[in-house]
Amino acid sequence: MDSQWKKYLPSVCAGLGIALLALTAVACVGLDQGGWLDRAGIAVVLVILAALSLFLLRIEGFGRDVLMVMLLPIGAAMLVRALSLDYISGDYVSFLRNWAAFFRTYGGFSTLASNVGNYNVPYLYYIAFMSYIDVPDLYMYKLLSILFDVALAWGCLRLVRSLIGDRRGSAAPLTAFAAALLLPVVVLNGAYWGQCDVIYGALCIHAAALVLEGKNKTSVALMAVAFSFKLQAIFVLPLWGVLWLAKKVKFWELWVFPVTYLATILPAVLMGKPLMDILGIYFGQMTEVPNLVLNAPTIYQFIPSGLHAELAEGHLASGLGIAAAAVLVLNLLGLGYWLKDRLDRNMIMTMAVVLCIGVPFFLPHMHERYFFLADVFTLCWACANLRRLPVAVLAGCASLAGYIVYLRQKYNFILHLGGARFGMAVEAAAMLAALALSVWVLAEQLREVKKLGGPA
């Protein structure tokens, strides 16, 4: 009976997957914006991305039966994205739509020298490219994110495979691939909301997989590209400092970072955009949000809502949070220096998780989307070792709750304690628990090193 079930499973999954892709095409035909040709084109693009997903699995060495089974989650992932394409967020109305209109009105790439948008130039290259294509901007923004959703799933597969080694027959890498495509925050971030956090998220995941494989220069280059898209790549960037101090990465290999970053901004400079304007973009982003926190499950959610505005006017609360994040990073750098050759890939992954959760948890002015790296790194961590699942669930649910608060414009759970009101204390407590558990795992790993006579 068991063998019969296994025999027919690939065909059943493939049939269901193809049916879901057909429904994806139907959903695209019924989209609200654009003409029939635009909608048909979007349907074709989503089917091509499904085919790309299968191709990536094939080049990773998976056979026909596995590809047939994976058609089911891939088809489901494309359908849910097709159903999300028509949602128009406030960010799109206030910012993204206007940026696209500016490039379309004033000449596409020739407009790069102008002061438009508060994103770094690699993303502006894409908006300039969009201006030459007569497809609704809403869909063009989202299709780029969906492309990187596939890249993210591939990266998660590679990272999990790097963590578990040559464990043949393990379903963990494929689980990571499917879970990344269907993770609620991944779907909501790009296909639904129209944000692009998946771009730097996918690049960081691939960079982590590459550094575990010993491909340091390519890893550092990908981190530079990730940083050129979004400042939030800096949350996990200290990991490469840890690896340098542990002598896993050579100092000269770190110079790939500035060289690659300069290469990403060079086209804009050649088109007349002042270099200082580009280099100052991230400094402007750090000062443009006066709130201590924006719907993110951070330590600032433990401050009563009525005190947020008052504390935001001074610098003490922000300074303490920045200091706490700095202490966390410095401690990990110190561990890298003392561990050196005792720093194995499991401990490297644990440190990455601690950084992705801990740094945004302590920093002020965080948006709900800024735990994206925590979402995907904890997912990979849990797929590689099911004992880490509680961390992934706590961090993922807390992060998702922040998305829900933004999208509903309403708090999920409001606590009233002693006359004080806390908007997201429950979510912040869950994220704090995830951070505490990840630090506990790191402490356990250090104790194991100490038992073996290591420097810890």
DSSP E strands: which ranges in 302-381? 366-367
In this predicted structure, which of 228-237, 314-323, 356-365 has the lowest mean pLDDT? Answer: 314-323
Tokens of 197: 């956090």
DSSP characters over 16-48:
HHHHHHHHHHHHHHT-SSS-HHHHHHHHHHHHH
Which tokens is 25 given?
Answer: 């095409």
- Strands 293-294, 366-367: parallel, antiparallel or unpaired by DSSP? parallel
pLDDT at 388 over 90: yes
Q: Please check whether residue 199 is in contact with residue 230, taking contact to mean a CB–CB distance below 8 angstroms.
A: yes
Token pair belonging to 22: 């057909």
Residue 76 has a CB neighbour count (10 Å cut-off) of 19
Alpha-helical runs (H) found in 131-255: 137-164, 172-182, 184-187, 197-212, 216-229, 238-245, 251-254
Positive or negative CA dihedral for 302, 307, 309, 314? negative
What is residue 142's predicted lDDT score, i.e. its pLDDT?
Answer: 98
Check the CA dihedral 119-122-124-127 and report its sign: negative
Measured CA to CA, the distance from residue 288 to residue 226 in angstroms comes to 21
In the predicted model, what is the mean pLDDT of the chain?
A: 93
Q: How many angstroms separate the Cα of 63 from the Cα of each of 70, 109, 251, 263, 307?
A: 11, 43, 40, 38, 58
Q: How confident is the model at residue 436 (pLDDT cuts 50, 70, 90)?
A: very high
Pairing of strands 420-422, 415-417: antiparallel
Task: Return the SS3 of 87.
Answer: coil
Could you read off the pLDDT of 212-223 as tens digits, one per residue? Answer: 999 999 999 999
* Amino acid letter, residue 164: I
Residue 293 dihedral angles phi and psi, to the nearest 5°: -160, 145
Cα(107)–Cα(309) distance, rounded to whole angstroms? Answer: 42
**Phi, psi dihedral angles at 420 (to 5 degrees):** -95, 150
Tokens of 382: 């849990």
- Torsion sign, CA atoms 27, 29, 33, 38: positive
What percent of the chain is predicted at pLDDT more than 70? 96
Find the length of the chain.
Answer: 456
pLDDT (0 to 100) of residue 167: 67
Residue that is written with structure tokens 């609360």 in the block = 317
Q: How far is CA 65 from the centre of its chain?
A: 30
Phi-psi region of 63 (alpha: psi -120 to 50; beta: other; left: phi over 0): beta
Residue 251: both structure tokens together: 């100092």
In angstroms, the CA 12 to CA 131 distance is 42
State the average pLDDT over residues 283-299: 84
| 25 within 8 A of 43, measured Cβ to Cβ | yes
Q: Which two tokens stand for residue 286?
A: 């750090």
Q: Which of 58-62, 139-143, 308-312, 417-421 has the lowest mean pLDDT?
A: 308-312
DSSP 8-state code for residue 235: G
Q: Quick: pLDDT tens for 258-288.
A: 999 999 999 999 999 998 889 888 887 776 7
Is it the case that residue 166 has pLDDT exceeding 80? no
Name residue 446's amino acid: L
Q: 299-314 burial, b if ≥16 CB within 10 A, otherwise e?
A: bbbebbbeebeebbee
CB 292 within 8 A of CB 365: yes
Helix (H, G, I), strand (E, B) or coil at 294: strand
In 3D, which of 109, 157, 145 has the Cα closest to residue 273? Answer: 109
pLDDT in tens, 82-126: 999 999 999 999 999 999 999 999 888 988 988 888 899 999 999
pTM for this structure?
0.95
Domains in the chain: boundaries: 1-83, 95-287, 289-456
Torsion from C-alpha of 34, 40, 45, 48, nearest 10 degrees: 170
